[in-house]
Amino acid sequence: MYLYDDLDRTLVAERVADFRDQVGRRLSGELTEDEFKPLRLMNGVYLQLHAYMLRISIPYGTLSSAQLRKLAHVARTYDRGYGHFTTRTNIQFHWIKLEQLPNAMADLASVGMHGMQTSGNNVRNVTTDQWAGVAPDEIEDPRIYAEVIRQHVTLHPEFSFMPRKFKIAVGSAAHDRAALRIHDLALRLHRNGAGELGFEVMVGGGLGRTPFLAKTIKPFLLKRDVLSYVEAVLRTYNQFGRRDNIWKARIKILVHDLGAEAFAKEVETEWRTIKDGPLALDNAVFAEIAGRFRYPDYVPLDDAPRALAEARRADRAFDVWFGNSVTNHKVPGYCIVTLSLKPEGGTPGDATAEQMDAIADLADRYSFGEIRVGHEQNLTLPHVAQRDLPALWRKLADIGVATPNVNLISDIISCPGLDYCSLANARSIPIAQQIASRFRDRNLARELGRLHINISGCINACGHHHVGHIGILGVEKNGEEFYQITLGGKADEDAKLGTLIGPAVPFAQVADVVEDIAAAYVELRERPDELFIDTVQRTGVEPFKERVYATR
Amino acid sequence: MTSPLDQKIKITGPVVVTANRVGDGAVVYRRADGGWSTRLPEAAVTSNVATAREFIAAAVADDLRAVGPYIAPVKLTADGGVQPGNLRELIRLGGPTIDLPVTF
């Protein structure tokens, strides 16, 4: 966990006071909606179909148990008893009343939480690997760099009114769990040939109407230069990014239009003027920030204790869950546990106040009080002693977050879609539920293996459909919901955009189509362990397309 | 964003003016008396462009009570009832089409 200081607390408290005053003036009529809207958006308050929506930032997806309990409190006190974890590792409350928002924000501020920069044309929540700090394949905790950037860009006046929003992700593991290439700016920590640590810098990724994967503009950047280089990228974008057309305003369009090489040249020119200035990361400053991350006092434990093996042998359900939801930890005797927020019949990413409270209690008891949010819309307990797994599993099952479907076909990433969102053209959640129901047979789901489905209810692509192994995009045609299907997308270190397989299909046929695609995969794969995505890459989409449209 | 007053009004059937209530964001419909109601049957309905323009102008001027007004299609039933004219409006009126995790 990162420990906020007085500056953070003061800043958040002052913002709550400002917002309370602004809401009061709006309700009294002193402010018009045109005047108030930019103020509420600066605090993450949107207006959706049914009500105001409050989006709360969860920096690099790390939550303390106290923060999760406070989110439960907000859900229960000011909303309808649940919240929605998003693909940006934030949380949204969909039924907030404007009149009550200042109190909700004051309660959140008491644990250092807020909605700043969860909307608007600024740098949004810096995201990372949900296993940061504990993954065995990690070089260094990427959250330290995410925090350095967070501190620099929070309320930074130069970057508060950019051409469009700006999303940054940081990774430092061999396997990309942060979907780096779909970000406006991504940093990947690695070692160069000389053994030095530095970042690969990627820019211009993003989905939406015009999807692009980020391009590498600097293969190796010394750690000391990371902040000055980020600043140079932001300045270059701020200067040259288009402001005349919202659909062409993201950095991905600028990088595409200029070309990555020319963009990089502009950045380098800017960077040379600032790289040895105050933004060069001083070791002492870096150490101070790193030092504010508190790591658990792990105790020496046996790896793979005998009691765990016995529990796996004794209970098939526990063994299945263990195989699906438990991952190796860098410290012997510990493990990383993923909590599925994708129960059959549920809404992907939703958690009730009762679940949040219970998870906070379990985090205190079993995970040193820490919880993570992943972009897949699941939660993680990052520091669980392996010997505690049987007891933890029973408690997770009791509250409905132990569905053993992580990374399987029913672990669907989905935006809220037309059931909540004012931008959506079609519903997402019912599609996710239909597919999950169709594949409720867990043996079948395991037989299909790793298979990521991503659903977006509009072209803005909050469900990241372009990088789903199966991507589903809702569109509206003559007042009816239709869905375009893409195959072969992926968001890992070998990121790819999916390929559209043909005409959109109606709402009622989407689950059938997914079933056809799954059946085609089973027939096409060369061996049982060839993953769906590997089969698609080997065969191309044509055989799947033939299967899907043969009878349609 | 273009103001609703600057947008060309195209009407192919009966419409109402809808918005969200300022204080709590609830979906509301403009009544003939200039007030707002959460009940669609109480909405003022018109199929006339000039009247719709008057409705939306009055709604925009009522910024203190309603936010984001716009013209939405409705369907009139044989018994004189009013129903939402498309799925989006159906969901705005009736709520999400899925079961909510917690109901009150």
Domain co-membership, A161 together with A244? yes
The pLDDT-based confidence of A275 (bands split at 50, 70, 90) is very high
Does B1 contact chain A (CB < 8 Å)? no
Report the C-alpha gap between A328 and A28 in whole angstroms: 56
| Percentage of residues of chain B with pLDDT beyond 90 | 83
Helix/strand/coil for B10: coil
Q: Residue written as tokens 């009730």?
A: A352
Of A238, A266, A291, the one marking the end of a domain is A291
Report the C-alpha gap between A144 and A129 in whole angstroms: 12
Is the pLDDT confidence value at B104 over 50?
A: no
Pairing, β A185-191 against β A168-171: parallel
DSSP for A9-77? Answer: HHHHHHHHHHHHHHHHHHHHTSS-HHHHHHHHHTTTEEE-SSSEEEEE--GGGEEEHHHHHHHHHHHHH
Does B104 contact chain A (CB < 8 Å)? yes
Domain co-membership, A379 together with A514? no
Biggest distance spanned by C-alpha atoms of chain B: 44
Nearest CA in chain A to B98: A430
- The answer to whether residue A77 is domain-embedded is yes
DSSP-assigned letter for residue A292? T
Instruction: Identify whether the C-beta of residue A210 lies closer than 8 Å to the C-beta of residue A255.
Output: no
**CA A445 to chain centroid:** 24
Domain co-membership, A183 together with A278? yes
Q: What is the mean pLDDT of residues A103-123?
A: 96
Domain co-membership, A141 together with A283? yes
Q: If we measure between CA atoms, which residue out of A533, A454, A461, A530 comes closest to residue A496?
A: A533
- A502: domain CATH number is 3.30.413.10
A123 sits in which H/E element: none
Q: Which residues pair with A56 in a beta bridge?
A: A91
Between the two ends of chain A, the Cα-to-Cα distance in Å is 52
- The answer to whether residue A118 is domain-embedded is no
**The pair of three-digit structure tokens given for residue B29, joined into one six-digit string:** 């419909």
DSSP for A411-436? Answer: --EE--GGGT-SS-SS-SHHHHHHHH
Helix/strand/coil for A187: strand
Domain co-membership, A281 together with A186? yes
pLDDT, tens digit (0-9, with 9 covering 90-100), for A335-356: 999 999 999 999 999 999 999 9
pLDDT, tens digit (0-9, with 9 covering 90-100), for B74-88: 999 999 899 999 999
pLDDT, tens digit (0-9, with 9 covering 90-100), for A420-459: 999 999 999 999 999 999 999 989 999 999 999 999 999 9
| Percentage of residues of chain A with pLDDT beyond 70 | 100
B92 → closest Cβ in A49, A347, A351: A49
**Subunit contact A352:B26, Cβ cutoff 8 A:** no
pLDDT for B103 equals 45
Is the pLDDT confidence value at A5 over 90?
A: no
Q: At how many degrees (to 10) do helices A306-314 and A316-325 cross? A: 120
B67 sits in which H/E element: strand B66-76
**Subunit contact B96:A419, Cβ cutoff 8 A:** yes
Q: Collect all residues of chain A within an 8 Å Cβ-Cβ radius of residue B24.
A: 51-52, 97-99
Q: What is the mean pLDDT of residues B31-58?
A: 96
**Subunit contact B24:A51, Cβ cutoff 8 A:** yes
The pLDDT-based confidence of A305 (bands split at 50, 70, 90) is very high
Average per-residue pLDDT for chain A:
97
Measured in angstroms, the CA of A198 and the nearest CA of chain B are apart by 43
Residue of A247, A419, A478 to mutate, interface with B, max B Cβ within 10 Å: A419
Measured in angstroms, the CA of A148 and the nearest CA of chain B are apart by 35
Q: Amino acid identity, residue A93?
A: F
CB neighbours of residue A64 within 10 Å: 22
Report the C-alpha gap between B90 and B87 in whole angstroms: 5
Sequence spans of domains, chain B: 15-89
Instruction: Identify whether the C-beta of residue A453 lies closer than 8 Å to the C-beta of residue A468.
Output: yes
Domain co-membership, A105 together with A140? no
- The answer to whether residue A256 is domain-embedded is yes
pLDDT for B2 equals 67
pLDDT for A270 equals 98
Domain co-membership, A361 together with A285? no
- The answer to whether residue A117 is domain-embedded is no
Report the C-alpha gap between A341 and A333 in whole angstroms: 26
Contacts 24+ apart (CB under 8 A), B57-60: B57/B5, B58/B30, B58/B34, B59/B4, B59/B17, B59/B19, B59/B30, B60/B3, B60/B4, B60/B5
**The pair of three-digit structure tokens given for residue A354, joined into one six-digit string:** 């009762």
Q: If we measure between CA atoms, which residue out of A66, A6, A156 comes closest to residue A363?
A: A66
Nearest CA in chain B to A423: B88
What number of C-beta contacts closer than 8 Å exist between A and B? 78
Domain co-membership, A155 together with A66? no
Q: How many domains does chain A have?
A: 4
**The pair of three-digit structure tokens given for residue A217, joined into one six-digit string:** 């503009």
Pairing, β A91-96 against β A52-56: antiparallel
Q: What is the mean pLDDT of residues A278-300?
A: 93
Domain co-membership, A432 together with A536? yes
Range of the domain at A78: 6-109
Q: If we measure between CA atoms, which residue out of A333, A335, A337 comes closest to residue A325?
A: A337
pLDDT for A421 equals 97
Domain co-membership, A274 together with A316? no
Give the angle A322-A327-A331 at the CA atoms, nearest 5°. 125
The pLDDT-based confidence of B102 (bands split at 50, 70, 90) is low
**Subunit contact A26:B22, Cβ cutoff 8 A:** yes
Is the pLDDT confidence value at A467 over 60?
A: yes
**Subunit contact B99:A345, Cβ cutoff 8 A:** yes
**CA A376 to chain centroid:** 6
A95 sits in which H/E element: strand A91-96
**Subunit contact A81:B88, Cβ cutoff 8 A:** no
Helix/strand/coil for A490: strand
- A340: domain CATH number is 3.90.480.20
- Report how many helices (DSSP H) and strands (DSSP E) chain A contains, helices first: 18, 21
Query: What phi and psi, each to the nearest 5 degrees, are found at residue A146?
Result: -60, -40
Q: Residue written as tokens 């380098």?
A: A268
Domain co-membership, A432 together with A499? yes
- The answer to whether residue A298 is domain-embedded is no
A456 sits in which H/E element: strand A453-456
Q: Collect all residues of chain A within an 8 Å Cβ-Cβ radius of residue B91.
A: 49, 418-419
Does B80 contact chain A (CB < 8 Å)? no
Instruction: Identify whether the C-beta of residue A74 lies closer than 8 Å to the C-beta of residue A108.
Output: yes
Give the angle A263-A211-A115 at the CA atoms, nearest 5°. 90
Domain co-membership, A81 together with A21? yes
Residues A308-318: b if buried by 16+ CB within 10 A, e if exposed: beebbeeeeeb
Residue of B1, B20, B90 to mutate, interface with A, max A Cβ within 10 Å: B20
Sheet of A326-328, strands arranged across: A62-64, A370-373, A379-385, A334-339, A326-328
**Subunit contact A47:B22, Cβ cutoff 8 A:** no
Report the C-alpha gap between A164 and A324 in whole angstroms: 39
